[in-house]
């Protein structure tokens, strides 16, 4: 047999093996989804399955099986997430920043509500080129300034950027000069309030602020709403009703 014929035959075998493994993985994954759904809905007795062993990456001894990852994902307990009203007499500010990966353009947004979940104020703005951290900090700073201007002195601040929230709460120092400048500005505003509280929430509970931040990408100049825009009515109602959204641990 010629050398070229042997190479072609070897390539055909490899191609067939890869195709077969891909099809088997897909079918197995679909069956796992189906079985998981039935177990949740009908409490079926589990069925023992045996799958093809995962292939090892030649460059790494670590085995990453897509089937194992899928099983691990579907067996994680979902986290219930819901927006919470502030205590009586308090005001709550939810803020968010948005950054477009391809263009690098960023925008900010936020919403202020009272203890009855009534809309007090919303804001959005395009801030040009910025990373996500700067966008989040700018959203918080802008929200604080608006809250202070309106005389709301007991404020609950909530955002979905966990690291940023921890920096504010623990008053940590950061290496980036621009980031630290924003933090310093925020730290000079906070003592102006009678009481303030800062917390982190998953994005699923911060959807109203996220919506305002997304709207900011389309604005030519900063905008403030004294009445809720139509695009936010449904989301604000769900928040006021305490609707829970399930978040899978990831």
Using DSSP's 3-state secondary structure scheme, residue 145 falls into helix
Q: What is the pLDDT of residue 114?
A: 98
Dihedral sign computed on CA atoms, order 184, 185, 188, 193 = negative
Place of tokens 């700067």: 134
Place of tokens 């829970």: 244
Q: Report which secondary-structure segment, H or E, holds 43.
A: none
Burial class (CB in 10 A: 0-12, 13-18, 19+), 236: buried
For residue range 204-249, list pLDDT tens digits in order. 999 999 999 999 999 999 999 999 999 999 999 999 999 999 987 6
For residue range 170-182, list pLDDT tens digits in order. 888 888 999 999 9
Q: Residue 86 pLDDT > 80, yes or no?
A: yes
Using DSSP's 3-state secondary structure scheme, residue 23 falls into helix
Q: Residue 42 pLDDT > 50, yes or no?
A: no
Domain 91-247, CATH number (from 3.20.20.140, 2.40.50.140, 3.40.50.300, 3.30.420.10): 3.30.420.10
Name the pairing type of β-strands 105-114 and 119-129.
antiparallel
- Of 129, 79, 104, 57, which Cα lies nearest the Cα of 244? 79
């Amino acid at each position: 047999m010629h050398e070229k014929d042997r190479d072609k035959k070897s390539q055909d075998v490899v191609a067939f093996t890869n195709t077969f493994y891909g099809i088997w993985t897909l079918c197995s994954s679909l069956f796992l989804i189906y079985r998981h759904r039935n177990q949740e809905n009908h409490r079926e007795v589990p069925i023992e399955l045996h799958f093809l062993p995962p292939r090892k990456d030649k460059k790494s001894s670590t085995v990453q099986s897509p089937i194992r990852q899928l099983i691990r994902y579907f067996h994680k307990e979902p986290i219930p997430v819901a927006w919470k009203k502030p205590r009586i007499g308090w005001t709550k500010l939810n803020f968010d920043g948005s950054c477009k990966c391809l263009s690098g353009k960023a925008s900010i947004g936020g919403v202020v509500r009272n203890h009855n979940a009534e809309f007090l104020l919303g804001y959005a703005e395009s801030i040009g080129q910025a990373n996500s951290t700067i966008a989040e900090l700018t959203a918080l700073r802008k929200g604080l300034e608006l809250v202070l201007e309106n005389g709301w002195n007991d404020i609950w601040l909530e955002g979905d950027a966990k690291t940023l929230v921890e920096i504010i709460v623990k008053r940590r120092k950061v290496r980036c000069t621009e980031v630290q400048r924003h933090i310093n500005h925020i730290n000079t505003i906070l003592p102006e309030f009678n009481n303030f509280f800062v917390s982190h929430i998953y994005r699923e509970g911060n959807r109203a602020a996220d919506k305002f931040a997304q709207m900011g990408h389309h604005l030519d100049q900063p905008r403030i709403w004294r009445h809720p825009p139509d695009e936010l009515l449904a989301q604000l109602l769900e928040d006021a009703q305490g609707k829970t959204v399930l978040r899978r641990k990831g």
